[in-house]
């Protein structure tokens, strides 16, 4: 069990300005640290430490990175002394809502002017997954996003993208062009030989159907590879 616990006075004995809930009421959530926000979700610590100290331990284990914490499984969070199933589920649910909010901030009718616009849409969806997913962005003639669609899910090493499925989706939405995107859980943005071959195959198929494949992004947490930017399309 992950302990590393130390002695600490309960939050209720702290000055009001130092109590996370009261601090949020007085000053707003933007003035709270990550540890204080996590402490509010936890609600309580243990006999040996406050909720804030417990939150600090949890964050330290994830290198104080909320994206890394978001990848933690519920059973892994429960290994911390003071975190039961209910607290672990609450924390996991809050982190998932944060992820979905990031995705919802992107308008569905966003205009794509370059690879970074597509990356901004796709990053919240696939960057921190432990498995590969293949997506497409369907665009109209003005390069506005009609819809983003999940094509397939795979394992850690790869996923299968069927050209027939991809272009059926595009035809059903009367898309003029599309952008391909998939993630590499390894963090390596460089395309594999299979990625290159698939891209060439889809570009050729798109020409036959008069649906342009504008780009193919390989998305990772820290960046991306654009076939268009690299002259590969």
- Give the contacts of 125 (CB within 8 A, at least 6 positions apart): 103, 133, 135, 148
pTM higher than the cut 0.75:
no
pLDDT-above-70 percentage for the chain: 88
* The listed CATH number (1.20.272, 1.10.150, 1.20.120, 1.10.101) that belongs to domain 11-103: 1.10.150
The pLDDT of residue 27 is above 60: yes
**What homologous superfamily does CATH list for 106-226?**
Cytidine Deaminase, domain 2 (3.40.140.10)
* Domain segments of the chain as ranges: 11-103, 106-226
In tens, the pLDDT along 185-198 reads 999 999 999 999 99
Average pLDDT over residues 177-184: 97
pLDDT at 47: 84
Average pLDDT over residues 12-34: 76
Task: Select the more confidently predicted residue: 18 or 51.
Answer: 51
The pLDDT of residue 115 is above 70: yes
Q: How far apart are CA 122 and CA 61, in angstroms?
A: 27
- Give the contacts of 224 (CB within 8 A, at least 6 positions apart): 115, 119, 123, 189, 217, 218
Long-range contacts of 191-196 (CB under 8 A, 24+ apart): 191/216, 191/218, 191/225, 191/227, 191/232, 192/158, 194/158, 196/232
Q: What is the distance of C-alpha 192 from the center of its chain?
A: 22
pLDDT at 30: 85
Average pLDDT over residues 177-185: 97
Question: Can you give the C-alpha Rg of the chain in angstroms?
Answer: 22
């Amino acid at each position: 069990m992950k302990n590393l616990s130390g002695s600490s006075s309960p939050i209720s004995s702290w000055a009001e300005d130092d109590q996370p809930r009261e601090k949020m009421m007085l000053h707003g959530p933007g003035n709270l640290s990550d540890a204080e926000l996590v402490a509010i979700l936890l609600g309580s610590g243990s006999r040996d430490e406050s909720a804030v100290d417990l939150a600090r331990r949890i964050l330290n284990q994830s290198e104080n990175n909320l994206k890394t914490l978001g990848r933690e499984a519920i059973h892994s969070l429960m290994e911390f002394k003071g975190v039961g199933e209910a607290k672990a589920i609450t924390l996991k649910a809050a982190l998932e809502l944060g992820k979905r909010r990031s995705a919802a901030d992107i308008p569905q009718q966003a205009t794509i002017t370059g690879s970074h616009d597509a990356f901004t849409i796709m990053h919240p969806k696939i960057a921190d997954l432990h498995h590969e997913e293949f997506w497409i962005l369907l665009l109209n003639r003005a390069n506005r996003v009609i819809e983003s669609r999940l094509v397939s899910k795979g394992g850690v090493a790869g996923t299968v993208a069927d050209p027939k499925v991809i272009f059926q989706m595009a035809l059903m939405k009367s898309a003029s062009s599309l952008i391909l995107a998939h993630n590499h859980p390894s963090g390596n943005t460089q395309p594999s030989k299979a990625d290159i071959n698939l891209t060439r195959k889809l570009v050729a198929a798109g020409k036959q159907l008069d649906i342009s494949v504008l780009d193919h992004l390989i998305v990772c947490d820290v960046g991306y590879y654009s076939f268009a930017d690299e002259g590969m399309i």
